Amino acid sequence: MGIQMLKNTLAEYGWIAIALHWLVAVAAVGLFVLGLWMTGLEYYDAWYERGPDLHKGIGVLLFIAVTFRLVWRWSNPVPRPEPTHTAWEHRLAGIAHALLYILLFATMLAGYLISTADGRPIEVFDLFAVPATLSGLDNQEDIAGEIHELLAYMLIGLTILHTLAALKHHFIDRDRTLTRMLGCSDQSTQP
């Protein structure tokens, strides 16, 4: 695989952008599902502590991946929109992508504030720890928890809209919006 296949061009996404896109998508949805599952755990459940530890560790790694993805996006060309896209679709896509990043970072920040409310660092799979820099505020864990949950639902809602838009482009408009993010550059992949 040549270096040109790793980077974006004005026509296609490179393999690094594609891999980061799907890594972030799977991790965010997985964390949402894990978070929902954790709310049903009881104190004596074997996963009562392991579930949150897993959630926190993956959350920190997701923060690193999203940060790298944003840096990668800023340091690479963004492929031009498909010719079938209208000006309003292009603007709306830009707003949606910006909101996805904002919601990702805001959700993770709220999660950090929950996890560090007692002043303890977040242990990430015994590899490293993220120190508690802001803790001990009145009701920090409860308030950050409510915000974290609300933001997570908003993030998943926007992710669903994003997915529906990609499917609309693929099945109705029959353009390459989805196939470019799947790494399929051949027009014959269209339905």
Total domains in the chain come to: 1
- Residue tagged 């799979």 (tokens): 125
Structure confidence by residue, pLDDT tens digits, 95-116: 999 999 999 999 999 999 999 9
CATH number at residue 138: 1.20.950
CA distance 72 to 103: 19
**Cα–Cα dist 174/165, whole Å:** 12
pTM of structure: 0.92
Compute the Cα dihedral for 102, 145, 34, 68 and give only its sign: positive
Provide the pLDDT confidence category of residue 2 given band limits of 50, 70 and 90.
low
Host domain of residue 184: 3-189
Contact at 8 Å (CB) between 14 and 6?
yes
- pLDDT, tens digit, 9 for 90 and up, residues 148-179: 999 999 999 999 999 999 999 999 999 999 99
- The 3-state secondary structure of 48-82 reads HHHHHHHHHHHHHHHHHHHHHHHHHHHCCCCCCCC
